[in-house]
Amino acid sequence: MPIKKAVVVGGGNFIRGREKALKDRILYDRIGILSTIINGLILESTLNQYTKTSHLASLPIPGIVEGYSKEKAEAEFKKKKTLILSGGTGNPLFSTDTACALRALELDIDLMMKGTRVEGIYSQDPEKFPGAKFYQKLTYEEALKENLAVIDQSALLLLREARKPLVVFNIFKKGNIKKVLTKHRIGSWVC
């Protein structure tokens, strides 16, 4: 069985004004879903220079991006392609964290990796609170109890139920993806 590699694309917080977004959450979530597809197209163009890819979206756009299904994804894995998955779950009110956990479970991915701007999971946002406590390792129960905001609760619940490990790490530091894949202990691990 080939190694399965899939990237679930986020929207980069396309709409950052939380107060504004909460007034019409459905609209802004729909905009976010579309922004992940745009980001997926950009990533596809970049990754195609280095590896064979297949871009599947929860909302297909004929002539631009194919629709996601478990069967289609598995067929692409057999061709040793790296999957780019965009459009989140295709539904408002669900984050790309939840989409990532859902796809990891559907496709039987061994490890969910969440790349972010900070080193891992903290008790508070370390960019706003420099004294925030860093968690190198914690259980799903601890992460849920502490209500740690780096990943949403729905994703944590899905991963906990399946006992799939999660690592949260700084994706912007060169070599960090390779370090995670070669079992270097960087970032925060949740099991």
For 116-125, write each residue's pLDDT tens digit. Answer: 999 999 999 9
Residue 21: predicted pLDDT: 57
Residue 14: predicted pLDDT: 59
**What are the residue ranges of helices labelled H in the chain?**
18-23, 25-47, 70-78, 96-106, 140-146, 153-162, 176-181
**CB of 167 within 8 A of CB of 114?**
yes
Could you give the CA distance from residue 78 to residue 3 in angstroms, rounded to a whole number? 9
**Residues 9 and 95 grouped into a single domain:** yes
> How many distinct structural domains can be found in the chain?
2
**Residues 159 and 68 grouped into a single domain:** no
Residue 181: predicted pLDDT: 86
| Residue whose C-alpha is closest to residue 89's, from 105, 107, 75, 103 | 103
**Residues 100 and 138 grouped into a single domain:** no
Strand-pair partners of 56? 66, 85
Residues counted in the chain: 191
What are 65's two structure tokens?
A: 């991006």
For 164, the domain range is: 110-191
Residues of the chain with pLDDT under 70: 1-2, 12-22
Residue 22: predicted pLDDT: 63
| Residue whose C-alpha is closest to residue 146's, from 176, 156, 12 | 156
**Residues 115 and 36 grouped into a single domain:** no
**Residues 73 and 134 grouped into a single domain:** no
**CB of 97 within 8 A of CB of 151?**
yes
